Structure 1
Amino acid sequence: MIRFSATLTCRYDTLFSPFTANELEQGLAWLAKSGFDAAELCINDYEGIDIARLKQRLDYHGLGCTTIATGQARKLDGLSLLASGRAIVERTRQRLSEHIDVAAQLASHVTIGSLRATDRALSKTQYMHELAEAMQPCVEQAQKCGVTLVIEALNRYEMAHLHSAEDMMEFLTLSDAPENVGVLWDIFHANIEDRDFAAAIDTLGSRLKHVHFADSNRAFPGYGHLPIDDIYRALKNSGYHHAVSLECLCAPSTQTLIEEAGPLITHLRGL
């Protein structure tokens, strides 16, 4: 059964959350009222965050956590697994280690998206080898903790390599990644990089562990040109049983997202 989640942020505000970090409680109440199953939590670091209380508030609202989104650390702290400076790589691993420990407590995945940016010109093969090496300690820790790491396929305008479903499978094969390493497939990025949505879903198979929904312009689904219903049906028909999470801009407005998310979920559940 497919679960539904949406982005909320815990400390620093993000364009993908209709609520600020200071409004987290209102956001959780909105998720529950709108029929979501879980939150996708955007967390940069854990200063001032009480994980036990966070878990208690999720439980209170009857919500889980699908994944911890980690990308803020790239913009705010300059972290990356593929930085040229080894000290930055180690700091990134340490931050991911913290995320993995918390994910084990929240029964969630951990996302690796913009934290795989590189500041060097690398061939695709070099990039994949270096990413696999940089990730290895995190992969091993996640295995021990029962946590899945989901690597996000990002479009060519945001990332040097690993854009499409085929790219992601090439990387997982080359790195001999264990089953606790999967793919986060975002249909906004896929609209740029994958020739066919259903074929991409088929290519990823059991490695597809998390899905982001946003329309072609990254607005709320229904305000662009993507065949949202067809994509959801393809996921459902493939046997996909993880989460579909809203990670869209608050466009055409924040109120649109707040008011129309519930009806969208009801509609998709009925397909």
Structure 2
Amino acid sequence: MITFSATLTCQYDAPFSPFSAADLNKGLAWLKASGFDAAELCISDYQGIDIARIADALASHGLGCTTIASGQARKREGLSLLSQDSEILRRTRQRLFEHIDAAAVLGSYVTIGSLRVADTPLNATRYCQLLAQGLAPCLDYAHARGVTLIVEALNRYEAEHLNSAEDMVQFLDLIGSPPQVGILWDVFHGNIEDRDFAQAIASMGPRLRHVHFADSNRAFPGYGHLPFDAIYRQLRQFDYQGAISLECLCRPSAQAVIDESGPFIQRFRQL
């Protein structure tokens, strides 16, 4: 069964969250009232973060957590799994270990998106080698903790390589398709990089673990030109069993996201 979540931020305000970090509880109440199943939580670091308390807050609203979004640490601290600075690489891995520990408590995935952006240009072969090396200890730790890491396909303007669904499948093949790694596919990025949505979904198969919905201009669905009903039907046709999560900018406004999310997901539940 497909479930639904939306992005909320726990610590620092984020452009994808219609509520500020200070209003996390209001955001959770909104998710529940709007008919969502879970939250997708932005966590940059663990200074002042009490995961047990967050887990209790989710449970009190009858919500789960789909994934921990880790990308804020890239912009705030310059962390990267592809850094050739050994100290930055060490700190990035340590942060992912902390995310994995948190995910074990929350029963969620951990997203690797911006944390795989390189600091310097690399050819595709070298990029994939460095990413595989950077990930290796994190994969071992995720396996030990029973957590899945989901690597996001990012468009060419945000990441140099691994832009399309096909690229992601090839990378997972390269690292031996470990069971603790899956693909996060965002239709905003897919609109730029994937030739055909149905083909992309079919190519990822069971390795597709999480889906982001945002329109062609990264606004709330319906304010661009993407065919969300068709995409949803294609996901169901290929027996997708994960979550669809709203990760759109608060456009046309945060209030529009708040007001229109409930009717939007209810429409899919009836398809």
Residue 177 of structure 1: aligned partner:
177
How far apart are residue 152 of structure 1 and its match?
A: 0.3
How far apart are residue 176 of structure 1 and its match?
A: 1.1
Greater shift after overlay, 91-100 or 123-132?
123-132
Residue 232 of structure 2: aligned partner:
232
Residue 120 of structure 1: aligned partner:
120
Alpha-carbon distance in 2 for matches of 1:12, 1:188: 23
Residue 11 of structure 2: aligned partner:
11
Residue 163 of structure 1: aligned partner:
163
1:84 aligns with 2:84: yes
Alpha-carbon distance in 2 for matches of 1:94, 1:39: 24
Residue 258 of structure 2: aligned partner:
258
Secondary structure, aligned partner of 1:83: coil
Superposed, which structure 2 residues align to 1:189-200 within 5 Å?
A: 189-200=189-200
1:268 aligns with 2:265: no
Residue 153 of structure 2: aligned partner:
153
Query: Are the aligned partners of 1:67 and 1:109 in contact in 2 as well (CA < 8 Å)?
Result: yes
Alpha-carbon distance in 2 for matches of 1:257, 1:183: 26
Alpha-carbon distance in 1 for matches of 2:45, 2:177: 26
Gaps of 5+ in 2: none
| Structure 1 residue identity aligned to 2:13 | D
Deviation digits for residues 174-230 of structure 1 (CA, Å, limit 9, x no counterpart): 111301100000000000000000000000001000000000000000110000000
How far apart are residue 144 of structure 1 and its match?
A: 1.0
Deviation digits for residues 96-120 of structure 1 (CA, Å, limit 9, x no counterpart): 0000001001000000000001112
Query: Are the aligned partners of 1:84 and 1:120 in contact in 2 as well (CA < 8 Å)?
Result: no
Alpha-carbon distance in 1 for matches of 2:180, 2:214: 25
Alpha-carbon distance in 2 for matches of 1:144, 1:52: 20
Residue 109 of structure 1: aligned partner:
109
Identity %: 64
How far apart are residue 125 of structure 1 and its match?
A: 1.0
How far apart are residue 52 of structure 1 and its match?
A: 1.1
Gaps of 5+ in 1: none
Alpha-carbon distance in 2 for matches of 1:128, 1:175: 9
1:67 aligns with 2:67: yes
Secondary structure, aligned partner of 1:97: helix
Secondary structure, aligned partner of 1:121: coil
Alpha-carbon distance in 2 for matches of 1:152, 1:62: 27
How far apart are residue 46 of structure 1 and its match?
A: 1.1
Would you say how many aligned residue pairs link Structure 1 and Structure 2?
Answer: 271
- State TM-score, norm by structure 1: 0.99
| Structure 1 residue identity aligned to 2:223 | Y
Secondary structure, aligned partner of 2:212: strand
Residue 30 of structure 1: aligned partner:
30
Alpha-carbon distance in 2 for matches of 1:257, 1:194: 26
How far apart are residue 49 of structure 1 and its match?
A: 1.2
| Structure 1 residue identity aligned to 2:101 | D
Secondary structure, aligned partner of 1:188: helix
How far apart are residue 165 of structure 1 and its match?
A: 0.6
Alpha-carbon distance in 2 for matches of 1:34, 1:41: 17
Alpha-carbon distance in 1 for matches of 2:74, 2:259: 31
Query: Are the aligned partners of 1:16 and 1:250 in contact in 2 as well (CA < 8 Å)?
Result: yes
Structure 1 runs (4+) greater than 3 angstroms displaced: none
Deviation digits for residues 14-37 of structure 1 (CA, Å, limit 9, x no counterpart): 000000000000000000000000
Alpha-carbon distance in 1 for matches of 2:40, 2:23: 15
Q: Over aligned residue pairs, what C-alpha RMSD do you find? A: 0.6
Secondary structure, aligned partner of 1:178: coil
Residue 95 of structure 1: aligned partner:
95
